[in-house]
Amino acid sequence: MSLQGKTAIITGSNSGIGLGVAWELARAGADVVLNSFTDRDEDHAIADDISRETGTKARYIKADMSKGAECRDLIAQAGACDVLINNAGIQHVAPIDDFPQDKWDAIIAINLTSAFHTTAAALPMMRAAGWGRVINIASAHGLTASPYKSAYVAAKHGIVGMTKTIALETAQEPITANAICPGYVLTPLVEAQIPDTMKEYNMSREQVIKDVMLTRQPSKEFATVEQLGGTAVFLCSDAATQITGTTLSVDGGWTAL
């Protein structure tokens, strides 16, 4: 699958899942626009690395996904958007009656409302180009729930619902909208938590991964950012032309339980 000549915008992509997806799209030939709320030399250096190693054009654009105007301006600054990956997200864990209102507002804004703004700005570009892919990074928590994650679960369920609406509104156009629903993914953030968890439970690395982190993931293996990127590339392929308005779980069997 070649995405040469296509521009992909990936929100929240200077690390973790977003960066992994950006790399795979660039390897497939797409020019990529990276994003986060910081504006550091290292952010721009990541884009330079992608350009150098893949031969594509990669840029980094600062935009705060908690602010609707900046979400829309990200798309405008990019100048083109054939593939939109709504990935930006944050998390907070607390019982509902103790859940801080500011954390609720921030999670809903960044994990859900940002995708509304970016999609609304990107669809006219896709229509003008005669082709488009909206790919929302949801979660296993977009299909099921866990205690103490009310805002995150609500936002991810909302992303799944909005994905279906986008798909219906574009069903007779060469544009598709789908949600990828990862389970636990081995990102640098997760990797960094393993040593402390080993000490806390007095367990080996393998025990921590299998018995603590992946208790709900039947495969007992993390998904990788490369696998999620490969799934995104597939959704951009001709083989996925009639796949729209649905979810693709990359969760080791979590949602089969």
Report residue 54 as tokens.
């893949």
In sequence order, the 6+-apart residues with CB closer than 8 A to the CB of 78 are 7, 9, 33, 59, 61
User: What distance in Å separates the CA atoms of residue 41 and residue 209, rounded to the nearest whole number?
Assistant: 34
Residue whose entry in the numeric block shows the structure tokens 């804004």: 109
Say whether 148 is catalytic.
no
Q: Rg of the chain's alpha carbons, rounded to an integer?
A: 18
Q: How would DSSP label each residue in 239-252?
A: GGTT--S-EEEEST
Report residue 72 as tokens.
């829309």
Catalytic: which of 60, 152, 184, 201? 152
3-state helix, strand, coil in the chain (%, to 5): 50, 15, 35
Q: Tell me whether strands 58-62 and 31-36 are parallel, antiparallel or unpaired.
A: parallel
Residue 172, helix vs strand vs coil: coil
234-243 as b/e: b if 16+ CB within 10 A: bbbeeebeee
Instruction: Find the angle CA(112)-CA(175)-CA(121) to the nearest 5 degrees.
Output: 45
Which positions are catalytic?
152
